[in-house]
Amino acid sequence: MRKLPLALLALCGGIALTTATAVAQDSAALVELLVKKGLINDQEAEDVRAELIKENASTPAGKLSLGSHVTEFKLGGDVRVRHQYDATTSQGAGTSLHRNRERFRFRFNGDAKLAGGWGAGFALETANAADSGNQTLENGNADYNIYLARAYVSWQANENLSLVGGKFKNPFQTTDLVWDGDINPQGLSETYDFRISEGSLQLRAGQFVMDDNDERKGSGPSYRDSFLFAQQLVYTNKLSNGVSVTVAPGYMFYNNASITGNNNETAFDGRTKGLSIATFSGSVKFPNVGANTLSLYWDSSYNFDADTRVHDIYGLSDSYGDGATAWLVGLGYAKGKGKDQGDWSVKLDYRRIGIGALDPNLSDSDFAFGHMNQQGIKLGGSYNVTSFASIGLTYFYTWDVQKSLKHAVAGLDKSSILQLDLVTKF
Amino acid sequence: MKKALATFLAAALLAGSASAADKLVIKGSDTLGAKLVPLVAEAFKAQNPEVAFEIAAEGSTTGIAAITDGTANIGMASRRAKPTEVSAALAKGVSMKPTIVAYDGMAAIVNEANPVSQLTLRQVEQIFTGDITDWSAVGGNAGSFSIYTRNTSSGTYSDWKELAMKKRDYAGSSQKMAGNEQIAAEVANNPNGIGYVGLAYINVPGIRVVAIVGKDGKAVLPNDETVQAKTYPYARPTFFYTNGEPHGLTAQFVEFMLGAEGQSIAKKIGFVPVAKQ
């Protein structure tokens, strides 16, 4: 039988030294080309292919089998190591409480594109708080649990409409004023792309399950499931001078039901009554400002039922000022997109949160530890030491909007948090 | 007594091994195993009457598995072994060695009464994936497609999926047949039928081969020239798989298959011979 020529063996060896993926994707075309050029015949090409497959099969990647309906499968994640300093002063306490914590966060996610416009994915992470993946280092050299942060099925019904069900990434254009960036909503989400000629216009909607209650045990808010219904229009346009503008008006409301067993960092267990919130967020990005990108961003909310919320749920009958409104305005300045060595960014925002303006279970858990009735700043910066690793610093300083509001969601006088981070992506 | 018993056992073992050495077990592809290999085996046996054959044509997957399991000398395959199959074989110390024994063109066939004489690559994909469901969408008479495919253990099933369907799934309405002959028979009996068969099966009465319009706009029918020149889009090599380089009787049979007589038989029944290299 024919022996493999030395040149072909060298070719096999050379190709096999590349990654398994590269072998799978590139060698077929290369072998075909060699056949077309008449440098090798079909049988020799088969021998090369067989050798390459054997080489590939001996690698871990070569033992991985994906169904033919999987058109793309991405695995990725990150590890963040953090030192955190906290200081809080409760209303009327006078003195601050200080705390230092060493924390870490691990995230691992997989997203598959499937045939026919289908998709599916998952994300695993440390800590079961909905609004944080941080695990504080504690208990000797304890090991820690991993939790399922996302598990979803998606379907691109046509070029306009896409649907997602399960527990998934937040589909809305937002900031951490309204939605903590760690929260993965659960339920259903729909995005309709209007395919306009200039820019992009999308209608996004979500029907999110906030809690499951047992209807068999009675009637009323404590026994009915809690839902959040949210919808938003998102318009984005890139102007001829490179400036891009995004504006996103939205509206969200809950049914009147109970949430118990909440595991947010600062959890609010209670009724979802009195939350009918209009939101308006957006950004303007100016490229090439001193060779970098300057961005102006904002977010705001107005709760039409703030009075009901504050009186009936928080039990406050005193004057509480403008508790129906929350807003944020910020500036960012960045070199690159945080993907290359030497990229950096800085951000500064000011925000003010009225006591009845937001759902305390959704807003950022770091700003005033998730409390309402607070105003203050968030200052952050990061620097990429490599394309995949960065160091970061974030500082929050907040103080109360109105004093003497005696409820857990509003009982903070002032707070500060300093976070020093080292993040690596994989 | 002990010596006599040992002698008897040795003789029995020798007899057994001699018997095994004269038998070739060939399993796998229906495309190869239904016609070509039995005829070549018959010709080989005419020259080597002491050789016995056991041939089972139940799909390429079974042929590759048989080499991995060591239950066949030759695994017939109308497709290449998948990386996972090669990996599984390596884990058992088996090294898959492919030898091209002939070329084949997978022909798209329709009922002879069907007015459609050619289809584009895209139309073929749309038909077999279920993107379109009616003959009127490709210029035929109104009527739903009756799609006939091979079963999942068939190499032709996966080759067609790869070459004609961009690896997409078959339409849910498609009907799986055990072999080429069954597909040809169903299409011959059904005016709305469409299927695919190897070149060796295109002369069945009642069916007609559809030309395939390639990216260059030219309609191409499968034949010796277009398959060998690779201008027909659904052309493919067919293989004998062995555990490493074949030796002994297996090597003799592979050489015979590749020789003048074997290739002549291949040509006679519709395969495209391996060009002399």
Q: Which of B87, B98, B169 sits opposite A50 (nearest CB)?
A: B98
**Residue A19 and residue A16: Cα distance in Å, rounded?**
7
Are B158 and B167 spatial neighbours (Cβ–Cβ below 8 Å)?
no
B174 phi, psi to nearest 5 deg: -70, 150
Would you tell me which residues 143-172 of chain B have a C-beta closer than 8 angstroms to some C-beta of chain A? 161, 167-169
Would you tell me which residues 91-120 of chain B have a C-beta closer than 8 angstroms to some C-beta of chain A? 95-100
β-strand pairing of A97-114 with A118-126? antiparallel
- Confidence at residue B146, expressed as pLDDT on a 0 to 100 scale: 96
Is the pLDDT at B31 greater than 90? The verdict is no
- Confidence at residue A1, expressed as pLDDT on a 0 to 100 scale: 40
B68 with B87, same domain: the answer is yes
User: Residue for token digits 């960014």?
Assistant: A345
Contact B83 A50 (CB under 8 A): no
* CATH hierarchy code of domain A69-425: 2.40.160.10
Contact A57 B161 (CB under 8 A): no
Any domain includes B126? yes
Contact B96 A54 (CB under 8 A): yes
**Residue A209 and residue A169: Cα distance in Å, rounded?**
14
CA angle A83, A88, A92 (to 5 degrees): 175
Is the pLDDT at B256 greater than 80? The verdict is yes
Out of A177-181, A207-211, B65-69, B267-271, pick the least confident.
Answer: B267-271
Measure A118 CA to nearest chain B CA, in Å: 13
A84: Cα separation from own chain's centroid: 21
For A56, nearest residue in chain B (alpha carbons)? B83
B183 with B217, same domain: the answer is yes
* pLDDT < 70: residue spans in chain A: 1-26, 61-63, 68, 318-319
For B237, nearest residue in chain A (alpha carbons)? A42
For A58, nearest residue in chain B (alpha carbons)? B87
Q: Which of B64, B78, B84 to mutate to test the interface with A (most CBs of A within 10 A)?
A: B84
**Residue B31 and residue B62: Cα distance in Å, rounded?**
13
Which residues does residue A85 pair with via DSSP β-bridges, in sequence order? A100, A418
CB neighbours of A13 closer than 8 A, spacing ≥ 6?
none
**Residue A267 and residue A380: Cα distance in Å, rounded?**
25
Contact B80 A69 (CB under 8 A): no
Token reading at B171: 């339409």
- Confidence at residue A33, expressed as pLDDT on a 0 to 100 scale: 84
B71 with B153, same domain: the answer is no
B111 with B218, same domain: the answer is yes
Band of pLDDT at residue B17, cut at 50, 70 and 90: very low
| Total count of domains within chain B | 2
Would you tell me which residues 240-299 of chain A have a C-beta closer than 8 angstroms to some C-beta of chain B? none
B116 with B218, same domain: the answer is yes
Q: Which of A42, A57, A62 sits opposite B100 (nearest CB)?
A: A42
- Confidence at residue B125, expressed as pLDDT on a 0 to 100 scale: 95
Any domain includes B164? yes
Any domain includes B62? yes
Taking only the tens place, the pLDDT of each residue in A119-166 is: 999 999 999 999 999 999 999 999 999 999 999 999 999 989 999 999
Measure A155 CA to nearest chain B CA, in Å: 16
B112 with B30, same domain: the answer is no
The answer to whether B131 contacts chain A (CB < 8 Å) is: no
B111 with B219, same domain: the answer is yes
Any domain includes B8? yes
Would you tell me which residues 89-118 of chain A have a C-beta closer than 8 angstroms to some C-beta of chain B? 115-116
First to last CA, chain A: 46
Any domain includes B273? no
For A1, nearest residue in chain B (alpha carbons)? B245
**Residue A361 and residue A375: Cα distance in Å, rounded?**
17
Helices B248-258 and B36-47 pack at an angle, to 10 degrees, of 110
Is the pLDDT at B2 greater than 60? The verdict is no
* Alpha-carbon distance values, A241 to A10, A60, A286, A288 (Å): 52, 49, 9, 10
Contact B87 A43 (CB under 8 A): no
A82, burial (CB in 10 Å: exposed 0-12, middle 13-18, buried 19+): buried
Contact B251 A24 (CB under 8 A): no
For B158, nearest residue in chain A (alpha carbons)? A68
Any domain includes B142? yes
Q: Which of A43, A65, A68 sits opposite B100 (nearest CB)?
A: A43
**Residue B37 and residue B63: Cα distance in Å, rounded?**
13
Q: Which of A43, A70, A113 to mutate to test the interface with B (most CBs of B within 10 A)?
A: A43
Taking only the tens place, the pLDDT of each residue in B152-180 is: 878 889 889 989 998 888 998 999 998 89
Range of the domain at B31: 2-104+237-268
Domain spans, chain A: 6-62, 69-425
For A64, nearest residue in chain B (alpha carbons)? B84
Stretch B60-77: mean pLDDT: 95
Residues of chain A in contact with residue B168, where contact means CB-CB under 8 angstroms, are 115-116
Domain containing residue B89: CATH number: 3.40.190.10
Q: Which of B87, B95, B98 sits opposite A46 (nearest CB)?
A: B98
B216 with B116, same domain: the answer is yes
Q: Which of A24, A49, A63 sits opposite B87 (nearest CB)?
A: A63
Stretch B252-276: mean pLDDT: 91
Q: Which of B90, B98, B161 sits opposite A57 (nearest CB)?
A: B90
Are A268 and A262 spatial neighbours (Cβ–Cβ below 8 Å)?
yes
How many other C-beta atoms are found inside a 10 Å radius of the C-beta of residue B221? 16
Token reading at B192: 């709305």
Q: How many inter-chain contacts (A to B, CB under 8 Å) are there?
A: 58
B98 with B67, same domain: the answer is yes
Measure B2 CA to nearest chain A CA, in Å: 45
Would you tell me which residues 51-70 of chain A have a C-beta closer than 8 angstroms to some C-beta of chain B? 53-54, 56-58, 62-63, 65, 68-69
Stretch B256-267: mean pLDDT: 95
* Alpha-carbon distance values, A226 to A256, A270, A365 (Å): 7, 11, 21
The answer to whether B237 contacts chain A (CB < 8 Å) is: yes
Contact A68 B95 (CB under 8 A): no
The answer to whether B27 contacts chain A (CB < 8 Å) is: no
Q: Which of A398, A282, A279, A380 is nearest to A329 (CA)?
A: A282
ipTM above 0.90, yes or no: no
**Residue A400 and residue A364: Cα distance in Å, rounded?**
16
Is the pLDDT at B85 greater than 60? The verdict is yes
For B250, nearest residue in chain A (alpha carbons)? A1
Q: Which of A224, A235, A148, A157 is nearest to A189 (CA)?
A: A157
Contact B277 A42 (CB under 8 A): yes
Taking only the tens place, the pLDDT of each residue in A299-344 is: 999 999 999 999 999 888 766 778 999 999 999 999 998 989 999 9
How many other C-beta atoms are found inside a 10 Å radius of the C-beta of residue A223? 14
Taking only the tens place, the pLDDT of each residue in B114-123 is: 999 999 999 9
Is the pLDDT at B143 greater than 90? The verdict is yes
- Confidence at residue A61, expressed as pLDDT on a 0 to 100 scale: 67
Q: Which of B111, B124, B252, B107 is nearest to B180 (CA)?
A: B107
CB neighbours of A307 closer than 8 A, spacing ≥ 6?
A274, A324, A356
Any domain includes B275? no
Contact B83 A57 (CB under 8 A): yes
Would you tell me which residues 163-222 of chain B have a C-beta closer than 8 angstroms to some C-beta of chain A? 167-169
